[in-house]
Homo-oligomer: A and B are copies of this chain.
Amino acid sequence: MTVTVTPSNTATPSSTATPSNADTEATLAELAEVAAKLDAANALAYTRERFLIPPNLVYLDGNSLGVLPAAVPAAVEDAVHRHWGNGLISSWFEEGWWDAPLRIGERIAPLLGAAAGQVVVGDSTSVQLFNTLMAAARLRPGRRVLLTDPAHFPTDAYLTDSVAGLLGLEVRRVPASEAPAVLAEIGGDVCVVSYPIVDYRTGELWDLPGVTRAAHGAGAVVLWDLCHGVGAMPIGLDEAEVDFAVGCTYKYLSGGPGSPAFSYAAARHQDTMQYPLTGWNGHADPFAMQDAYKPADGIARARIGTPPMLSLLSLEAALSAFDGVDLNELRAASLSLTGFFIECCDAALAELGFEVATPRVAGRRGSQVALRHRDAVRLVPELARRSVLCDKREPDVLRCGFNALYNTHRDALTAVRALRDLVG
């Protein structure tokens, strides 16, 4: 068997004939050489040192919680001792706490393909989703349908139902691939089109520009959940004329457990947005403590309450791991990793009942590979005991996320070998 892996490959299924164990071992040995070559040639290899990865750990769960960036501990210690301990309340202005949600938003903006003044950070993704979806739906009064994904992440599904209940709307669920056709048919009834950029289970990448165009063609606005895309690929929000987006910061951005989410609103919508969460931080003149709410101009009106500063400053430090990183290069490196992982799975795991659930076409993949296997749930803790961390989604999905800032092709092969040892 000849192994061919290129950074932007389209992985192809292996032969259906079951190879002998010796054949597979020979293939794995060849793949180890390929991995070494690809890792040696990786233009982003230097970014791995920006993370504190536990020794000998193969971490394929950065799509759930990114590893600790090297810049974080000192920043958090500084926030605790110098900002809080010594500066106390004066740090709200002298250490820039007050501006942090907007300042960190500006730092995330380039990762979204967003010009300045359109991103703010704070609160959880769930809260941001609710706040944005409510305000977005109210931009299209009289339209009664929220169009969304039947396989959306649960919090998106639940909050969409909640918003529909509050505003008297109807939720229609069709896969993103069918959304343009549905919009062509019933688009005049649709107020908001709400999809994830990447399916959290299968890792499939949806057509953000295409769905956005179709929504706009029908007069609707779009809200994208970028949780499984941001930090793993370029996202052209401005170029695609996206209206709204939210996303978490603890997956590929490695901001830390539960680090605050971001909210993007295109500049053209900001001054008509009526967010329901009218917290005082979003007021035009918050410290005047006025009786009536007057929303701030621009994206600042999407601020809500006092943000959790330690988690927020951890995120800010974490973002330095992206300094100087070209997002197209990052995307190429990510596709090389997931493509190589699929290649390894085909060579060594297909015969053991594993099925690759993620699209093999590079342009349709996010940065994770989902494997289906009847024992997936049991295998995750067994892998952990062999220092390979990934996660599961019931009933039969094993998710392997790759962050090209720190994962290697060797990681991919090690995980496949561990799975083979466990099941073979």
Contact = CB atoms under 8 A, between A and B. Distances in A.
Contacts of A73: 77, 80-81, 85
Nearest to A122: B124
Nearest to A130: B277
Q: Count identical subunits in the complex.
A: 2
A270 interface: no
A141 interface: no
A29 to B, nearest CB: 30
Interface stretch (A7-15, A60-68, A177-185): A60-68
Interface stretch (A89-97, A352-360, A410-418): A89-97
A46 interface: no
A88 B72 contact: no
Contact of A88 (B61, B92, B159, B259): B61
Contacts of A260: 308
A59 B257 CA distance: 32
A421 interface: no
A305 interface: yes
B293 A158 contact: yes
Interface residues of A, number: 80
Given A80-B68, A88-B65, A307 B124 contact: yes
A123 to B, nearest CB: 6
A306 interface: yes
Nearest to A64: B89
Contact of A90 (B91, B122, B126, B389): B389
A24 interface: no
A67 to B, nearest CB: 7
Interface of A: 52, 54, 57, 59, 61, 64-65, 67-68, 72-73, 76-77, 80-81, 83-86, 88-92, 97, 122-127, 130, 150, 153-155, 157-159, 161-162, 166, 248, 250, 256-261, 276-281, 283, 286-293, 304-312, 314, 384, 389, 391, 393-394
13 contacts: A73-B77, A76-B76, A90-B389, A92-B257, A125-B306, A126-B277, A126-B306, A127-B277, A154-B283, A158-B278, A158-B280, A258-B307, A260-B308
